[in-house]
Amino acid sequence: MSVPKYWREIPYHFRLEGGKCRDCGKAFVPYRQVCPYCKSRNVELAKMPRTGKVVTYSILHVYPKGFRKQAPYVVALIELDNGARVVSQITDCDPSDVKIGMKVEAVFRRISEEGKAGIIKYGYKFRPVFQNKS
Ligand SMILES: [Zn+2]
């Protein structure tokens, strides 16, 4: 698979894009043509902020088919800095380190592998924002 083809096929949600309502000003993920808050159709595609905080989370001990063997792992509901909420895996930390209210940032990571050919899919996950990070 060629690299340019791969990049063209990455879905919108792998680019941290969502919708923003020009009428009520609220942001949401995924992008929709109608604002879920005020039903306005005056919605634009918008880049979402890379940082947010954990609203709630679950530690999962089984992984979906096609995912790398990485159980247990954490899936969290994250409120981005603009108020939009996304569900994402938390990476780069021990599951016991995840706390409600913890600051997180989006990082591009390997998500899954398909079959022996090892076609690897990438996408955004979130990791804790540490002080003094390099
Ligand atoms: Zn609206």
CA distance 41 to 33: 6
Q: In angstroms, what is the span from residue 28 Cα to ligand 1's centroid?
A: 10
- Per-residue pLDDT tens over the stretch 40-71: 999 999 999 999 999 999 998 876 666 656 67
Rounded distance, CA 39 to CA 121, Å? 34
pLDDT, residue 1, reads 39
Q: Residue 105: its pLDDT value, please?
A: 95
| AA identity, residue 111 | I
Output the CA 43–ligand 1 centroid distance in Å: 8
Tokens (6 digits) for 16: 């941290």
Mean pLDDT of 116-130: 75
Indicate whether 36 pLDDT > 90: yes
CA–centroid distance, 27 to ligand 1, in Å, is: 8
Q: Average pLDDT, whole number, for the chain?
A: 81
Please provide residue 110's backbone torsions phi and psi, each rounded to the nearest 5 degrees: -70, 135
Give residue for tokens 């780069």: 92
SS3 57: strand
Residue that has been written with the tokens 């050919």 in this structure: 117
Q: Which residue has the higher pLDDT, 38 or 18?
A: 38
